[in-house]
Amino acid sequence: MPKRNIVWLIVGAVIAVLLWKVPETRIRRDTIYSKFSPLLDVHVQVAKHHVEEVDDQDLLRGAIDGMLSRIDPYSAYFTEEEYKEFEKRTQGRFSGIGVHVAITPGHGLVVVSPIEGSPAFRAGLRTNDLITHVDGTRTIGLSLDKCVRMISGEPDTQVQLTIQRSGVEDPFDVTIVRGMVNVPSVRGWARTADFTWDYLIDSEMRIGYVRILSFEGRTAEDFREIVDDLYNQHQIRGLILDVRDNPGGLLSEVVEIADRFITEGLIVSTKGREAPPVPYRANAQNAYPRRPMAILVNAGSASASEILAGALRDHGRAVVVGERTFGKGSVQKILQVENNHGLIKLTTEYYYLPNGERIHGKGIAPDHIIDLTPDERTRLLESWMAVYSATRLPTTTQAATSSAPATEPAEERFEITLDRQLMEALNVVRAQIETPQEPVPGVNP
């Protein structure tokens, strides 16, 4: 069979996978394929009449990417090789600049959060920065995974991003040197002299602090070890969880963490268009003793972070402090295209909180709303950067190209007073410790 025909058979295979829930009757299949016949006719017309010879693989990829981009920002097609790279990113180590991004309708590629300590973080990228161009290529109209492939690359290579930032009149370029990115999982609020993390933010009142930066394969295990120590060694009386700028991750990890604080009932459920809801429930045997808690969120808190904040709020286990969250509450599954012609990442379900609320497109509004100004964010990032990697953020965009080595700190302690959101969370937990209240029952569906 000619290569041209094989290429366009893949389009049919992708269409078949996209319609995997459709009843497999002959009449139904014939109707569907007749609806997509214009796609094949367009290919014939392009191949026959375009002024230049067109690569069938490019046309195929454009057709598939266009089809999936019309569904939602998170569905995407992968070749086998691209999927291997995608898996590396989800496992917590990959080559690139270290930034979580999303597609927003009408605006294009937006920064959800830079990974702390990464090249993107050192370059000063911020949550809600719009990446309008990558190496001169406009991002509006491109799929999310196409943009990710453009930004990613081998270590020690450069990529130029054009940034449109709120409060800055003109777009500006940032050149970043790619490198190996290790996605951190759990951190404390300060580094000690031996470079270990300090998780006790208020030693006098014995309040713990745990920052979860992503929900990867070891997050729940690392979290359990840290919080076990806070309970057993420090006898904590209160706890602050920080999921600001946490873009999410694995559902299994966030459910396991939530299960440590919720004694019974629903943590989260997923539901698709036709399938019945799939509930994830708490196990009372796993729960820590009840302590006053607050959880910090902001616009960079997405997906699994929103599940954790929403579940703890709905069960009356934590007060939510900060800014409205991102609003990414959809589930993607990987589906194989027929005859091993690649894979698609397809949105198949939405997340629903214990109170029945769907967070997708809305996010979670905090109980205590504390919005930071752009200047506050900059000072806050600089202070966190000093703690995390002993390298302060560059003061100009040109400094983003610098590869000056980091210096080893003797002891770095985060300046808490710079962070009004964290101060509010501390005040909330301190007040609950000083004035014990009856447990709030919350929901228990």
Average pLDDT of the chain? 85
> Which homologous superfamily is 186-330+345-434 in?
2-enoyl-CoA Hydratase; Chain A, domain 1 (3.90.226.10)
Task: Compare 400 and 111 and report the one with higher pLDDT.
Answer: 111
State the pLDDT at residue 93.
65
Instruction: Give the angle subtended at the CA of 342 by the CAs of 47 and 277, to the nearest 5°.
Output: 120
Q: Per-residue confidence at 383, pLDDT binned at 50, 70, 90? A: confident
Quick check: 92 pLDDT over 70? no
Instruction: Give the angle subtended at the CA of 74 by the CAs of 68 and 80, to the nearest 5°.
Output: 70
Q: Per-residue confidence at 191, pLDDT binned at 50, 70, 90? A: confident
Quick check: 335 pLDDT over 60? yes
Mean pLDDT of 225-247: 97
Give the whole-angstrom CA distance, residue 84 versus residue 132. Answer: 27
State the pLDDT at residue 293.
98
Give the whole-angstrom CA distance, residue 360 versus residue 24. Answer: 31
Residues classed as catalytic: 303, 314, 328
Of 384, 417, 370, 394, nearest to 187 by C-alpha is 384
Instruction: Give the range with max mean pLDDT: 78-82, 227-231, 390-394.
Output: 227-231
State the pLDDT at residue 391.
36
396 is written with which tokens? 């100009």
Are β-strands 179-182 and 412-413 bridged in parallel, bridged antiparallel, or unpaired? unpaired
State the pLDDT at residue 390.
42
State the pLDDT at residue 86.
79
State the pLDDT at residue 364.
97
Percentage above 90 pLDDT, the chain: 52
Give the whole-angstrom CA distance, residue 398 versus residue 175. Answer: 8
> Which homologous superfamily is 80-182 in?
PDZ domain (2.30.42.10)
State the pLDDT at residue 409.
40
Q: With both helix axes pointing from N to C terminus, report the angle between 304-314 and 251-258 in degrees, rounded to the nearest 10.
A: 20
The domain segmentation of the chain, as residue ranges, is 3-70, 80-182, 186-330+345-434
